[in-house]
A and B are shown apart, each in its own frame.
Chain A
Amino acid sequence: MSASVLVADDDPNIVLSLEFLMKRAGYRVRVARDGEQVLAAMAEETPDLVLLDLMMPKRSGYDLCQIIRGNPAWPGVRVVMLTAKGQEVERAKGMALGADDYITKPFSTREVVDRIKRMLEG
């Protein structure tokens, strides 16, 4: 079965592209639009990778990343932070809280797909 990706972002316009790109790369894609939806989707079926926006309603991406890393039921889930927060200290915080990668908006779609492919297949 193909790998599954959970796209978590509250901006429908970026979700449109991300969802299309992930599907075309051959992954099964689900979408969550706020922090609580992310946790619900995770509980329903553990994805292989979460594309996590930092600034979401209800729970921030940092909060979610810490929860995912603290839950032994989700040991192998890859977390890629996708954010408009560009400060170096935000990246340091993301990595410190357990993110596998941190991609700053705007980004190259090809690069995002390549990095996710490497992470899921490498």
Chain B
Amino acid sequence: MRAPPPGAVQRLRWCFLALGAAVVLAGGWGAPPWAVAAGAGALVALAWGVAELRLARPLDRLARDLMAAARDDPYRAPRPRQGWATRIGQAAAAVQARLAAAEADRAALLAAATARSEEQKRRLEAILLDLSEGVIVCGRDHRVLLFNQAAAGLVAAPHALGLGRGVAEVLSRAPLAHHQERLERRAEAQPERFVCATAGGERLLYARMALLADAAGAPSGYVLTLTDAGGDLDRAARLERLLRTGIERQRGLLASLRAAVETMADAPDLTGAERQAFERVLLEESLTLGEQNAALAAALDAFGGPAWPMAEIATADLFALLARRAAVLAPPVAIVPAGLPDWVYADSLSLLDLLEHLCGQLARDCGVDRLTVEGTREHGRVCLDLVWTGTPVPEGTLAAWLDLPFEGRSAADARAVLERHGTACWSQAARHGEALIRIPLPSAEAPETARRKLPMRPEFYDFDLADRPAVTDALRDRRLRALDFVVFDVETTGLELSKGDEVVSIGAVRVVNGRVLPLETFERLVNPGRPIPPESVRFHGVTDADVADKPPLSIVLPQFFRFAAGAVLVAHNAAFDMTAIGRAAAACGLVFDHPVLDTLLISAWLDPEEADHSLDGIAARMELVLTARHNALGDALTEAAILVRQFERLEARGIDRFGPLAEAIDLSARLRQHRMAF
């Protein structure tokens, strides 16, 4: 259809007006009504036909052109001749021209950005290609985002390593998931070093994993750096086995030699036959010793190499991961972590596999469904103890468990995990009808163990522990071991509570069944509503900036009240801590009428001849290794460990119920107060 020239539109307008006027006049002049109606109908039909041709169709075409431009072709201009819609068409063309220009700008910017990113990618690829280590970058879902040729060369199935594919197609998934989980559990974590098998178990690789974070700092994936370890580890394992058996064999030979020589020297009265027998031993054993020695030297030449990589592992992490695994065993085992936080030097995945293996065997063979796991310091080692109510596992059975096929892929069998850590495990009876399996491990330093030597707080005695309202007759007769305790510590702006010093932090931990439960803790910073003096910051490290956005004690104290519900409160120099929370408690309408114990007063009663009953002094006497930092929770953990040891000593002295203990320490408090008064 062609658009009419502007003059034609004017003429058509006049033509319609004339026809309309004729129909109206015809009615006025007495034309019959049917003729007027017919004329009006013809007029409407004609108008409709013209509007269809001149307006509706051009508008429809214009709309389609605009839709096409908007959808996928910004450069498509609406065609200009558009009947009566000419001006709309012109406006649409102008809008489209702007759209086309914006599109051109965007394309230019995109091209520039793409060129920059291509350049960066080329540089990155050049760096990756140049590395002899394999590098694989993965998202959190273990899909490969980037890898280099060295990585493809290290994995056993290079064709299975591809962008967007799961890294588990080429590497064993368990260690990757394990170390990713460990890294994500600790925000400040150093990269993890571990050993990882290829997916089919053909080869062992040394791996180093570092987390990738998104713009908000949340983990978005990880970078794996890989080197071949198989040969090294195989050699190391074989060398270790040869050395260990060789040394043991040599000890036996030396024992026979030395015993024979010493016997001959000490017994000049040997008969001829006896002397001959000893001489035969000397000769045989010397010859064998020589052969042994040569064999060991050859082994060292052949198999020297680096050992299995180990790292500092927090026992709390290990136990938390074990709890998750044990919960889905068949049958499941409930894990209760206990004891003070500590650090061991170990290969975390294989150690976890070993612990899970032992849990599974205990559940299947001994019907154990609940295990307390605890790290105990002994002879400078950290013993991992799996504790249950029942009898120990016979050594023969335990030895058989260690030789069973191993579900984890981190080692050939459970025994290999023990060998890797240079240790052994055994089962023995523990206190109170319990038994345990013990695995001693090398202890490690916590990443931060600095503990300042602090001046002691003044002792407070304005407070009768034994006569607290909650010490009912029923409580007096309760066994200490059957009570729940919440051991807590508060840090303050200063020591003069009566002059307005306020709480800046509260830390607490629960002690149940004579065990510290390190995962059941309470830790809050509190805004004291007044500046923290520098000398107090030196005490506890809590600064004004730390507490600026923290809630006041009136918010925190009810939370602590709920945490401590039903428990005996314990603190070191408890009167100070109770006084510190006392005034705010009254303001909140809370009454801390819990029974209260004081580790300082218990210590003074147990060791009256000792002068130093500070937390550090007692901990040093008990040879507690303090890995917790000096803050409210760290001190509460230390106090809890002290309390548990004190209970053992109290029981040994016949005090195993609350009443006698409260009276004893009350007496001790009065004596101390009396002595200090003079």
Contacts and interface: CB of A to CB of B under 8 A. Distances in A.
A114 interface: no
A86 interface: yes
B438 A24 contact: no
A72 interface: no
A82 B361 CA distance: 31
Of A90, A105, A107, the most chain B CB neighbours within 10 A belong to A105
A105 B252 contact: yes
Contact of B395 (A63, A86, A105, A106): A63
Contacts of A89: 381, 422-424, 440
A59 to B, nearest CB: 7
Contacts, number: 102
Given A62-B426, A89-B423, A106-B257, A96 B395 contact: no
A116 interface: no
B259 A55 contact: no
B603 to A, nearest CB: 29
B426 A17 contact: no
Of A17, A20, A87, the most chain B CB neighbours within 10 A belong to A17
B contact face: mostly helix, strand, loop, or mixed:
helix
B100 interface: no
Interface stretch (B32-40, B243-251, B569-577): B243-251
A60 interface: yes
Contact of B251 (A59, A63, A104): A104
B254 interface: yes
B263 interface: yes
A105 B426 contact: no
A13 B277 CA distance: 9
A18 to B, nearest CB: 7
Contact of A13 (B247, B256, B422, B438): B256
A21 interface: yes
Contacts of A118: none
Of A62, A92, A97, the most chain B CB neighbours within 10 A belong to A92
Interface string B378-408: 1101000000000010111001000000000
B263 A60 contact: no
Contacts of B423: 87, 89
B281 interface: yes
A106 B251 contact: yes
Given A85-B248, A92-B378, A107 B424 contact: no
A84 B253 CA distance: 9
Interface in B263-297: 263, 266-267, 274, 277-278, 281, 284-285
Interface residues of A, number: 35
A106 B254 contact: yes
A66 interface: yes
Nearest to B436: A96
Interface string B108-150: 0000000000000000000000000000000000000000000
Interface in A1-53: 11, 13-14, 16-18, 20-21, 24
Nearest to B258: A106
A115 to B, nearest CB: 14
B281 A16 contact: yes
Contact of B422 (A16, A60, A87): A87
B585 interface: no
B241 to A, nearest CB: 14
Contacts of A107: 255, 258-259
A18 B258 CA distance: 11
Contacts of A110: 262, 266
A17 B263 contact: yes
A14 B277 CA distance: 12
B606 interface: no
A38 to B, nearest CB: 13
B152 interface: no
Contacts of A106: 251, 254-255, 257-259
Given A62-B426, A84-B248, A107-B259, 16 more contacts: A14-B256, A16-B256, A16-B281, A18-B259, A24-B267, A63-B395, A66-B394, A84-B247, A86-B247, A86-B251, A87-B423, A93-B424, A97-B426, A105-B251, A109-B258, A109-B262
Interface of B: 247-252, 254-260, 262-263, 266-267, 274, 277-278, 281, 284-285, 378-379, 381, 392, 394-396, 399, 422-426, 428, 438, 440
6 contacts: A13-B260, A13-B281, A14-B252, A24-B267, A96-B438, A109-B262
